[in-house]
A and B are shown apart, each in its own frame.
Chain A
Amino acid sequence: MPDGTIAAHDEHHGQHHPALQHHFQDLDQQHEASTLGMWLFLVTEVMFFGGLILAYSLYRIWYPTAWALGSEELNIYLGGFNTIVLIGSSLTMALAVRAAQTGAQRATVGWLLLTMALGLTFLVVKFFEYREKFETGHVPGPYFRFEGPESPHVQIFFSLYFALTGVHALHMIIGVGLMTVITVMAYRKRFSPEWHTPVELGGLYWHFVDIVWIFLFPLLYLVDRSHHIV
């Protein structure tokens, strides 16, 4: 009978881990809840990017020539470099999580810093790519210039290019911000083998942003490149 007549013995309010929040019964429950929460949030991110990728896919089917022309204008070397940078940063992130799991505090900080450095590298390269696009007049709007009859459709390509990579870059910036907070926490020795949830969850988020780029790179840079690289 749900009126509490059979009372449960409550948790000992004596010793508990400083990271345990009081509405949870134990660290295990808290960890499971936090992890489930992050996964659900990543599902929402899939839906978020999914809308843009849907728009991209439709227009690519309708305007394949424009898509190839637009894609050609992107620097495949910079894009490829950035892809390697991000994959590398996922590696360093995973190593950071491993270090936190084993209680290697200095290694955790080190790997986290490296991850952030790689993330910032990505953003710097992106900045140069964007600048080049500004200079060549490929930014959609009143100053867009592109030769040829496909120009209006190419403008749509670039609209989606900027929307997709812009939203992705925003997620990278947020990721670097999160990593900063987590690195400071690691530096202050807040993590232990019993509790290092922020590192894990930060890792999940970082890997997700990486995976989005793994989709964006071929979708944007590698349209119809099979017969010409440059």
Chain B
Amino acid sequence: METIVWAEQTTYINHKHTVASWLLTYDHKRIGILYLLVVTTAFFLGGLFATLIRLELATPAGDLLSADVYNRLFTMHGVTMVFFVLVPAVPAVLGNFVMPLMIGAKDVAFPRLNLLSWYIFTIGFIFTLVSMVVGGVDTGWTFYTPYSTQGSESNVLITGIGVFITGFSSILTGVNFMVTIHRMRAPGLTWFRLPLFIWALYATSLVMVLGTPVIAITLLMLVLERGLHLGIFDPRLGGDPVLFQHLFWFYSHPAVYIMILPPMGVISEVIACFSRKNVFGYSFVAFSSLAIAVFGFLVWAHHLFVAGISPYSALIFSFLSFAVAIPSAVKTFNWTATLYEGAIWWKTPMFFVFGFLGLFLIGGLTGLFLASLGLDVHLTDTYFVVAHFHYIMVGGAIMGYFAGLHYWWPKMTGRMYNDTLGKFAALLIFVGFNLTFGPQFILGYLGMPRRYHVYPAEFQVLNVLSSAGASILAVGYVLPALYFLYSLKFGELAGANPWKATGLEWTTQSPPLPENFRTTPVVTEGAYGYSKREMKVA
């Protein structure tokens, strides 16, 4: 029972009040909140762009926006969502906040570096904002050469530099997380007693550390070529524009695993808690995370199947792309089996898990269509691909992020939000999402290409369905912002463990102390010990 009134507790929020104490903090929890602010801003900005895109696409003609503006909108939508929402959301917001608590540590290994990561991230975001204000970029978030180096007249340099800077935030966070997990676990917390969210963060950090530098150097080459006229990708000099694609996707494919692995980790945490049961096949799920991280580096050229690579090379990458799907399938089956003979508590975080399972399933399976060479020739560069990656990124990653937000919100703020509204939001998002992106699979097979500002009239019906779905989706996303904000002032006090969950983060007060724990916890058994214990409120 919560006997301490929140206002009298010392928490990481109230122990210092000044703006400087937030902007110069070394506390991983405050840094997580700082990330939350920027990521949320980016999310709504990217969402605004998406709204304009779907509004334009409701009619075949280019009647709302000019082609130029439209092209800049879809580019900025991609850049904002990929680099400033999907990559940082779970690791930098939830990971930063929860991870040290989960392993019984006082902070991450390098708290000052952590703050620097946030500053780098925010400066990169500001660069991108500046670029938008002066007119934006129109190359697509993929920056393909030679259009980005020679053809485009938009602000490629500013945006390229902005994304380059942001990459270092990822690199430093990855290093920080890996060292923390290696060196700062509480006594008794062996690797196989770790919660699966930690395994997921570790695998993600591996990818961040190995992959991000490659996009950094690729963008640097792009910036040098465009700004200083170095000619590395210039076909007029004998350079190879397709080389850019190889280098770009060498990072950007593993990047999608940066985006999905942490949300998968969240799913493991939430599904265990709300089934009151151990995750089925713990070590298989843990190793699947590592397998995804490793295999994810071997499949990049499946983005280049029609770009001019040799058919034999395409065969190899196709095979590997099937292989990388297997660990994700294993995880999905394990999560399903976790529900079997569980005690399923229908709370909001669990609703987002259900949503994730359905949408990630479709997203992952449609990936197999694209891995199939005989189909990819027809499907690539069409709306089928757009649908596929939105199902994974939004239906998977963002649902996972929302599951985590709704799960750890009480821990982060000490407040409960309205559960009914939460479940309603989850349902709205699920329905709106399917309506938005389901029709796009059909559009893709029919042949509607991506990045089209105007389209043939016979594609309109499906586009209208998609735009209608987007309006529902938008409401679903705005709703949490409202009830979360409301909860900060008026929400019921959460107490240390409102979900009756296992996990070290739930053994301490909500919101936590600045130093996390009064005494360092000692761990004597594995994670998810639900079945073994009597249920009691912590």
Contact = CB atoms under 8 A, between A and B. Distances in A.
User: Are chains A and B touching directly in their complex (CB below 8 angstroms)?
Assistant: yes
Interface of A: 1-4, 6-10, 21-25, 29, 32-34, 36-37, 40-41, 43-45, 47-52, 54-55, 58-59, 62-63, 140-142, 152-153, 155-156, 159-160, 162-163, 167
Interface stretch (B216-224, B263-271, B284-292, B373-381): B216-224
26 contacts: A1-B525, A1-B533, A2-B521, A2-B525, A2-B527, A8-B187, A10-B519, A10-B520, A24-B184, A29-B183, A34-B110, A37-B110, A37-B179, A40-B209, A41-B175, A44-B175, A44-B209, A44-B213, A51-B213, A51-B247, A51-B250, A59-B239, A152-B236, A153-B237, A159-B224, A163-B232
Nearest to A36: B179
Contacts of B216: 48
Contacts of A22: 106, 515
Interface residues of B, number: 64
A156 B232 contact: yes
Given A2-B524, A23-B111, A47 B243 contact: no
Nearest to B524: A1
B79 to A, nearest CB: 20
B329 interface: no
Interface stretch (B421-429, B466-474, B500-508): B500-508
A61 to B, nearest CB: 12
A20 to B, nearest CB: 12
Given A43-B209, A47-B214, A59-B239, 16 more contacts: A2-B507, A2-B521, A2-B524, A4-B507, A33-B109, A37-B175, A40-B179, A41-B171, A44-B213, A50-B213, A51-B217, A51-B250, A52-B221, A62-B238, A162-B224, A163-B220
Given A29-B183, A44-B171, A163-B221, A141 B229 contact: yes
A181 to B, nearest CB: 14
Interface in B62-116: 105-111, 113
A163 to B, nearest CB: 6
Interface of B: 105-111, 113, 171, 174-176, 178-180, 182-184, 186-187, 209-214, 216-218, 220-221, 224-225, 228-232, 234, 236-240, 243, 247, 250, 502-504, 507, 515, 517, 519-525, 527, 529, 533, 538
Nearest to A66: B238
Nearest to A47: B213
Given A29-B184, A163-B230, A23 B520 contact: no
A63 B237 CA distance: 11
Contacts of B515: 22
Contact of A160 (B184, B209, B232): B232
A215 to B, nearest CB: 15
* Interface-central residue, B107, B111, B175, B180, by most chain A CB under 10 Å: B175
A219 to B, nearest CB: 15
A159 B232 contact: yes
Contact of B228 (A21, A29, A141, A155): A141
Contacts of A167: 217, 220
Contacts of A34: 110
A45 B213 CA distance: 7
Nearest to A10: B519
Contact of A48 (B213, B234, B507, B533): B213
Contact of B243 (A37, A40, A58): A58
Contacts of B220: 163, 167
A48 B521 contact: no
A8 B214 contact: no
B237 A33 contact: no
A41 B113 CA distance: 12
Contact of A3 (B106, B109, B214, B507): B507
A2 B190 CA distance: 13
B519 A4 contact: yes
Contacts of A160: 232
Nearest to A162: B230
B227 to A, nearest CB: 10
B210 A44 contact: yes
